[in-house]
Amino acid sequence: MVLSMTPLLDHIQGPADLKDLSAEQLEALAEEVRQFITASVSQTGGHLASNLGVVELTIAMHRVFDFARDRLVWDVGHQCYAHKILTGRRDVFANLRQADGLSGFPDPEESPYDAFRVGHAGTSIATALGLALGAQHRGTDERVVAFVGDASIVNGTNFEALNNLGLVRRQLLIVLNDNSMAIDVTPGAMAHYLARVRLSHTYEDLRKTTQSILDHLPVIGRPMGEALENFKKTIRMQISPSRLFESLNIPYFGPVDGHDIISLIELFQALSDLDRPALLHVYTRKGKGFGPADTDPCRFHSTGPFEIRGQSVEVAPGPRSFTAAFSDAIVDVARADDRVVAITAAMPDGTGLTAFREAFPDRFYDVGIAESAAVDLAAGLARKGLRPFVCIYSTFLQRGFDHIFQEVALQGLPVIFCIDRAGLVGSDGPTHHGLMDIGFLRMLPSMVIAAPACESEMRQALMLAVRSETPIAIRYPRDVVRNGRIDAACEVGPFEPPHGRIVRQGRDPIVLAALGPVLDRALDAADRLEEHGVSVTVFNARFAKPVDPALPEAVAAGKTVVTLEDHYRIGGFGSAVLETVAAGGPAGADGRVLCLGVPDTFVPAAERASQLDAAGMSVEAVVQIVLAHCDAAHKSRFKQTL
């Protein structure tokens, strides 16, 4: 008989099963959950360090609240693994972040315990405020908790929500999970403030604080208001740095040890029925319980599969990525031009700026989770003659659009947007795809949008950007850099807007115009079409804006242009080609544009390659579309001869 490594966890089918566990059992359960998360993520990949840090906190919340009825709103949401395990989804963790599997983020379609589908920072407090106000209007009594962690408290939207908490006259608890980090070390004054709060209290202070809270819990016959006032006075005596939140008229409690389950349970019980909003400041250790993640939480914030050997880890080296290519290129560009500065929004490692930060610490700026501020900072730097590179994931750049419009495009400033994770991103799913950047950027006058297909074009794009006197965006995917013939295809001609390049000349009046690394699929499709007797031209578009005049000219000459892009079809590169063709007047007799791209839907998690296939851009799909067009064109010409 094989003994289970998780005997307590094996009996947890839902949060109700936590009610009867003793203090010792709850602590043992936390270790089992932590072991399960580590083992599971080692097989599937996922967000590891953040989840290891919130296990006790999650158990304590579920012990006190009933989130099938009460509402728990996550900020970002990647810290939800323990929550999912405790709410009946443990058995499907083998499919975490896989096609048709368990999402790596909260998802109401999975479980009634998930209030919102989320993945971005700064949204939880305002959303929770809306839920609390809705309950206030409806006269319902469900309790509402906003879970804010991994430095998302510094996001401006959360501060806007804190400023509006006075709108609600009922319970609303904000749990501030303070682990000193977002993905990387958290920058900024707010992080330093919280650090001072943490350092001003020892664990002994925290135990005394917990006891003080227990001493002042309301009892039968004692008015809640009097008990709460005593409660607050006691806390204030021990925690003077609460002034920031108290100045906003938000009762502040903490900081408390986020790994002390019993004290957390007692705290949540005390705070669960307050008649006004309150904030509980909890500090945790990102990566707790697994040595490598504890030592290097940045590396294990999000990880692919890895091999556990005791407390050591072996991660298989992967092929070279576009992020790595960008990382090397921007350092070289900065060495050649001292005007170059780099800006990120709490993601220096994810955006490939770690090497830049080490090489040029005085030319590197991390604004925290504040994309709009990153754009505005870049505008000011550009106005003073510098060349700022704003390095942000595509999905997060959306949050700064108004600032791109007013502070950059309207001023005509030479700000360079380096848009990582452009296109389909794979296992992180719909909140993280970068499928809208072409659509919202190409509407801005003077904006240039480049899409390098290979590493050499990445370098050329950055050199072009430094020379530019207007805004430019460079988009590239979460993917590997292709070697071989795509590199050879990229070598053709200088990298200058609006010009793309013919990389394969065909005999038939069909052009496959590929934007970015999907050029590889276009070349493969061209090979397959040759086997069917169809010879197509393959065109490396290079720029989504401006559109190369060669494409509308080809349509005007009666050719069919098939566009391929890793972006939504609506508003994308293909749409831009269609608009350019329409603006130029009637096409030739047989000229037309066929747009291949991501359809009008939210794309679930899966492998990136399979997502591209499902979007209709597999090599076989491209081949069949071209063959179907050839067949239709042949039939049309046959009818015209009758």
| Catalytically annotated residues | 286, 371, 399
Of the candidates 352, 427, 425, 350, which has an alpha carbon nearest to the alpha carbon of residue 395? 425
Determine the Cα–Cα distance for residues 48 and 36; give it in Å rounded to an integer. Answer: 11
Helix (H) or strand (E) run with residue 604 in it: none
Helix (H) or strand (E) run with residue 545 in it: strand 543-545
Helix (H) or strand (E) run with residue 612 in it: helix 608-612
Cβ neighbours for 91, distance < 8 A, ≥ 6 positions apart: none
**Taking a C-beta distance cutoff of 8 angstroms, is the pair 513, 541 a contact?**
yes
The residue type at 130: G
For residue 449, report the phi and psi dihedrals to the nearest 5 degrees. -125, 115
456-478 burial code (b ≥16 CB/10 A, e <16): bbbbbbbbbbbebeebbbbbbbb
**Per the structure block, which two tokens stand in for 203?**
């664990």
Helix (H) or strand (E) run with residue 538 in it: strand 537-540
- Cβ of 209: how many Cβ atoms within 10 Å? 23
Determine the Cα–Cα distance for residues 451 and 520; give it in Å rounded to an integer. Answer: 13
553-to-536, 563, 571, 578 alpha-carbon distances in Å? 16, 15, 21, 12
For residue 22, report the phi and psi dihedrals to the nearest 5 degrees. -75, 170
**Per the structure block, which two tokens stand in for 236?**
């204030």
Helix (H) or strand (E) run with residue 308 in it: strand 307-309
DSSP 318: P
- At which residue do the structure tokens 């840090």 appear? 53
Determine the Cα–Cα distance for residues 471 and 415; give it in Å rounded to an integer. Answer: 5
**Taking a C-beta distance cutoff of 8 angstroms, is the pair 455, 418 a contact?**
no
**Taking a C-beta distance cutoff of 8 angstroms, is the pair 411, 80 a contact?**
no
Determine the Cα–Cα distance for residues 324 and 95; give it in Å rounded to an integer. Answer: 28
**Taking a C-beta distance cutoff of 8 angstroms, is the pair 520, 488 a contact?**
no
**Taking a C-beta distance cutoff of 8 angstroms, is the pair 511, 563 a contact?**
no
Helices (H), 473-572: 485-490, 519-531, 550-556
- For CA atoms 316, 321, 323, 328, the dihedral sign is positive
For residue 46, report the phi and psi dihedrals to the nearest 5 degrees. 150, -170
State the virtual CA torsion across 613, 618, 621, 625 in degrees, nearest 10: 120
